[in-house]
């Protein structure tokens, strides 16, 4: 999954200043695209057949007081009009607005279930929250108990415990930009410990060679390539 939904709270993120130019060369290598309806409408060629995971939560910005104070921003009717494969919403377990975000997830699931649309719960992590197995297991399990079809979370030590306690598929977030080999190691570790896939954004589109990077990540996810093999693909493809 290629994540390009960052602008909903970060604005023109580095590498996504002109979304269409960033997205276009990467589409053929992604299994799905996670983004907002605004960028889908303006920056993705409707003739390109790729499953869409539509970001349906928001309402805060990076300069606001609390990123967890989100609401549902896109209706199920709109998701149907856009022919999406799934809808996505963030939950902030342990934050001031925990209850609000969990009820947002429940509401979205209730509406999506009427039309058979899967819901991806994103376990967002604030500055004051940890990223250990105990916390992420809590987040993922709560999302599952509320009815999420799949969960996006972070890789951590003892990640297999997070996977074991979550009865739906897990994809891992790429997080902030790190060196390419480190990002490939992250993807490899997550897949080898039970993740069903990765949802990477900045570690692809902020790379100096994004097309090479997404092909290297794809090799890990689909061909069980080692980190060395994936990095060799990156090196070859970047020319």
Total count of residues recorded for the chain: 239
| pLDDT confidence of residue 171 | 97
Mean pLDDT of 212-223: 98
Phi, psi (deg, nearest 5) at residue 153:
-145, -170
Q: Is the pLDDT of residue 145 over 60?
A: yes
Note the pTM of the prediction, 2 decimals. Answer: 0.94
Q: In this structure, is residue 213 part of a structural domain? A: no
Q: What is the mean pLDDT of the chain?
A: 95
Q: In this structure, is residue 234 part of a structural domain? A: no
Strands across the sheet with 52-55, in order? 2-3, 33-35, 52-55, 86-91, 119-123, 150-153, 170-173, 197-199
Catalytic residue among 152, 176, 177, 193: 152
Phi, psi (deg, nearest 5) at residue 89:
-150, 140
For the record, the structure tokens of 67 come out as 């990123």
- In eight-state DSSP terms, residue 230 is H
| pLDDT confidence of residue 127 | 58
Q: Is the pLDDT of residue 128 over 60?
A: no
Annotated active-site residue 152? The verdict is: yes
Q: In this structure, is residue 237 part of a structural domain? A: no
Q: How many domains does the chain have?
A: 1
pLDDT band at 64 (very low <50, low <70, confident <90, very high): confident
125 or 96: whose pLDDT is higher? 96
Mean pLDDT of 217-228: 97
Provide the domain limits for residue 122: 2-182+196-208
Q: In this structure, is residue 167 part of a structural domain? A: yes
Instruction: State the burial class of residue 113 (Cβ atoms within 10 Å of its Cβ: 0-12, 13-18, 19+).
Output: middle
Q: Is the pLDDT of residue 100 over 60?
A: yes
Q: Is the pLDDT of residue 238 over 90?
A: no
CATH of residue 127's domain is 3.20.20.70
Q: In this structure, is residue 86 part of a structural domain? A: yes
Q: In this structure, is residue 147 part of a structural domain? A: yes
Q: In this structure, is residue 160 part of a structural domain? A: yes
**Each residue's pLDDT tens digit, 168-212:** 999 999 999 999 999 999 999 999 999 999 999 999 999 999 999
Q: In this structure, is residue 94 part of a structural domain? A: yes
Q: Is the pLDDT of residue 129 over 70?
A: no
- Residue percentage of the chain with pLDDT more than 90: 92
């Amino acid at each position: 999954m290629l994540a390009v939904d960052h602008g909903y709270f970060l604005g023109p993120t580095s590498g996504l200043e002109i979304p269409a130019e960033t997205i276009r060369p990467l589409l053929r290598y992604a299994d799905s695209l996670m983004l907002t309806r605004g960028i889908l409408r303006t920056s993705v060629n409707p003739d390109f057949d790729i499953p869409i995971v539509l970001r349906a939560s928001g309402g805060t910005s990076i300069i606001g007081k609390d990123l967890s104070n989100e609401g549902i921003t896109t209706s199920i009717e709109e998701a149907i009009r856009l022919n999406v494969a799934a809808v996505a919403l963030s939950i902030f377990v342990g934050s001031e607005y925990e209850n609000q975000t969990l009820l947002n997830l429940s509401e979205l699931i209730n509406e999506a279930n009427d039309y058979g649309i899967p819901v991806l719960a994103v376990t967002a992590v604030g500055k004051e929250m940890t990223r250990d197995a105990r916390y992420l297991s809590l987040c993922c399990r709560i999302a599952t108990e509320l009815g999420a079809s799949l969960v996006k979370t972070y890789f951590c030590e003892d990640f297999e415990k997070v996977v074991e306690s979550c009865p739906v598929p897990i994809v891992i977030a790429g997080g902030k930009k790190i060196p390419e080999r480190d990002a490939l190691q992250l993807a490899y570790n997550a897949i080898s410990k039970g993740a069903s896939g990765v949802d990477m954004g900045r570690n692809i589109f902020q790379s100096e060679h994004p097309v090479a990077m997404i092909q290297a990540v794809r090799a890990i996810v689909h061909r069980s390539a080692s980190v060395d093999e994936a990095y060799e693909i990156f090196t070859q493809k970047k020319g």
